[in-house]
Amino acid sequence: MTRVRSISILSLALAAPLAAQRSADTAATRDTVYLTPIAVTATRSPQDVFLTPVPVNVLDRADLRGRAPNGVADLFRGQVGLDVSGVGFNQIRPVIRGQRGQRILVLADGQRLNNSRRQQDFGEIPSLVDVATVERVEVVRGPASVLYGSDAIGGVVNIITRAPQVAGLHGNFGGGYSAADQQTRLSGALAGRYGAWSMQVEGAVRSANGYDAPAGSFGNITLNERTRVADTGGDAWSLGAYLGYEFANGHDAYVRYERYDADTTGFGYVDPAAYAPGTPLIRITYPFQTFDKLSAGYRARGLHTAIADQVEVVGYAQGNDRGLDLDIAIPTGPGSQIDIAQRNQTDLSTLGLRAEAKKRIGAAARLTYGIDVVRDRSRNRDSSTTTFVNMGPIPPSVNTTPLVPFATYRSVGGFAQGDVAVAERLALILGARYQNVRAATESTPGMTGPGLVSTDAALVGAASAVYRVAPAVSLVATVGRAFRSPNLVERFFDGPTPEGAGFQVSNPALRPETSLNVDLGVRLRTERVYAEGFVFQNDIRDGIRIAATGDSVSGIPEYRNVNVDRLRFRGVELSGHLRGLAGFSLAASFTHLDSENVLDPSNPVGESFSTSYRAALRWDDPRDRVFAEYELRGNGDRKDVLPGTNPVGATLPAFTVHNVRAGVTLFRRGLHTQRIGVAVLNLTDVLYAEFTNVSFFRPEARRSVAVTYDVTF
């Protein structure tokens, strides 16, 4: 499948006369148009991206081989409308149109990875699905609550894993090494189809050290020499098994087991002694995380009953056991300081069910409808020890009261979406969902007082239209509402804040965040060009933010999560791909984001770039055995930054990063291939940080060489 790549404003201008030249030959355009991928996440049915009613990004196996990412979110760097948050080999999280954390829904094969026990601005890590098992990644830019419910207020990331497709035994094996963090990784899989049976086993293991950032300056920060970004390494392994059976024509069932285990990973930090002596040192580490998932599904096609032509039912049970250590050292004078050590262990179990049906109504309409149910059950232990170093005979202060009580979170929703061909060139997509959420605390060791119950409900809808102006041009318009129910941490957290500067109290009365999003776009597809441009506005009402109450607890200022009206995000996204002669191609993208607190414009809410760009010049030999690519990407200055919230300064400085990649197919015969890939990342060895990582300064790695080798058979 040919990949969709990006295109700059210049490339869009170059594409216009080419489109005009080809518009006169409609038949030729139909036969030789640029091949765009098929996506399923946006509509729950296979759909050509050119005719998909919302903006989407599709990243396939070729992207995974060529870029050799640590995790799927690493692929987002420089992609139109996308960004990343976090550093290290497994802590990278996605950002979509400036939204991150719990405002992004992460799916694995259409099943939720998000859970109600994550911090609002963290969200789940896509690395729970090892990148070696991934077939492709689909990203919906913008709300998608009609189909997927809570958390899809900013976008959806659907990680689609490989499944057995070819008769007989086949598989793959791969390995890699990157110099910056001395990371080694190995992965392998065996799969096969034998008659009605299909099966697959897979596994991966990786180990990495912390990496160094280069010397240099970034805003107000200067590093005089190569400096370690601590806690960016770790160890991880994963395994999986799949068994499927087709017991009748069009009827099949499967069961899948997955496990991911990571040790000694961390949030990443640079010791402030290197750039701001005397400021507190904050260290966040994850001593362990285990994730287990068992899922089973049934699919029936070609039913042709009165209520459904296709039916799919998927149930899953997953457990997420993880630890979090927070260590803060606050200097108080020469030789003295306050040490705060917080320890948390959370054991979260989740049960989920999704039942979905599709029915064609006449020749012009298709209906998708269903229900989904999710229940989280959270158990956790907390302790906090404060030690006063060289401050006299002050005994340590110890607190073992859980910060979040034991609790359950239950969500039930029903949805329906219709796709109607109104005319030969016009399609409308209309959908609605009703969701009910209940969160309740349970009896918790070390805690007394009445239980808390919090409920909310949401009714959302969306409407989209795709109009085929000409065979080479389609127009897209969409308007929709989405929502995000408060999670357990936002509702029930009660205790000192992690940095010890405040005391947060619970607020079970929080309302769901809601949004109204509008997208307008145009897509162009000719023999050698694919290009698209979108403008959007997303208004989030009742946005949840922490705010001071004006009271205090034991002399510490009191805070609580509150609903704030309203946050507005606007943007322009331009992207595409120009396929030239002799194997050369040009890809580029440009994104502009603008964000504001409408009721308090002086309080910036942007946590990502204002402008981002990427351009890549690539050569593929005609036999598809060699490729070489030069890529540059970067951010422009961001000036609307809340003063005092980051060490870099009131303006986040622009940066440009250069990367080169190449790959060679050493051997190919049938399904047997052997490939080697080489990349040089951060070629100019520049000091920079992704803008989401500036307030807690975590720069990217120095210049590094990465090598990969993979075999398929």
Give 647's Cβ-side CA count (13 Å radius).
24
| CATH code assigned at 118 | 2.40.170.20
Phi first, then psi, for residue 456 (nearest 5°) are -155, 165
CA 12/CA 25 separation, integer angstroms: 21
Peptide bond just before 259 cis, omega within 30 deg: no
Output the pLDDT for position 501: 66
Output the pLDDT for position 13: 32
Q: What would the mean pLDDT of 290-302 be, rounded to a whole number?
A: 96
CA 127/CA 238 separation, integer angstroms: 10
Q: Output the CA–CA distances (angstroms, integers) from residue 467 to 16, 422, 423, 471, 513, in the order listed.
A: 19, 10, 9, 10, 32
**DSSP codes of every residue in 572-604:** EEEEEEEE-STTEEEEEEEEEEEEEETT-TTS-
Output the pLDDT for position 2: 36
Please list, in sequence order, all residues whose beta carbon lies within 8 angstroms of the beta carbon of residue 452, skipping any fewer than 6 positions away. 405, 440, 441, 491, 492, 506, 508
Q: Over the stretch 58-81, which tens digit does the pLDDT of each residue have? A: 999 888 888 889 889 999 999 999
| CB 575 within 8 Å of CB 589 | yes
Is 2 part of any domain?
A: no
Structure tokens belonging to residue 270: 């640079």
Is 98 part of any domain?
A: yes
DSSP-derived pairing of the beta strands 155-161 and 104-108:
parallel
Q: What would the mean pLDDT of 646-654 be, rounded to a whole number?
A: 90
CA 339/CA 214 separation, integer angstroms: 30
State the chain's mean pLDDT as an integer: 90
Is 4 part of any domain?
A: no
Straight-line distance from the first to the last Cα atom of the chain, in angstroms, rounded to the nearest whole number: 19
| CB 206 within 8 Å of CB 184 | yes
Q: Over the stretch 508-542, which tens digit does the pLDDT of each residue have? A: 999 999 999 999 999 999 999 999 999 999 999 99
Prediction pTM value: 0.92
Structure tokens belonging to residue 20: 């005009």
Is 165 part of any domain?
A: yes
- Range of weakest confidence among 20-29, 31-40, 144-153, 288-297: 20-29
CA 401/CA 213 separation, integer angstroms: 39
Is 514 part of any domain?
A: yes
- Range of weakest confidence among 299-308, 356-365, 469-478, 592-601: 592-601
Q: Output the CA–CA distances (angstroms, integers) from residue 692 to 537, 663, 700, in the order listed.
A: 21, 31, 12
Is 3 part of any domain?
A: no
The beta-strand segments (E) located in 13-55 are 38-39, 47-48
Domain, as residue range, for 30: 9-712
Q: Which residue has the higher pLDDT, 182 or 3?
A: 182
- Enclosing H/E stretch for 67: helix 61-67
Phi first, then psi, for residue 502 (nearest 5°) are -160, 175
Structure tokens belonging to residue 252: 């099949």
Domain total in the chain: 1
Is 1 part of any domain?
A: no
Structure tokens belonging to residue 640: 């609307």
Q: Over the stretch 399-438, which tens digit does the pLDDT of each residue have? A: 888 889 999 999 999 999 999 999 999 999 999 999 999 9
pLDDT confidence band for 500 (50 / 70 / 90): low
Is 28 part of any domain?
A: yes
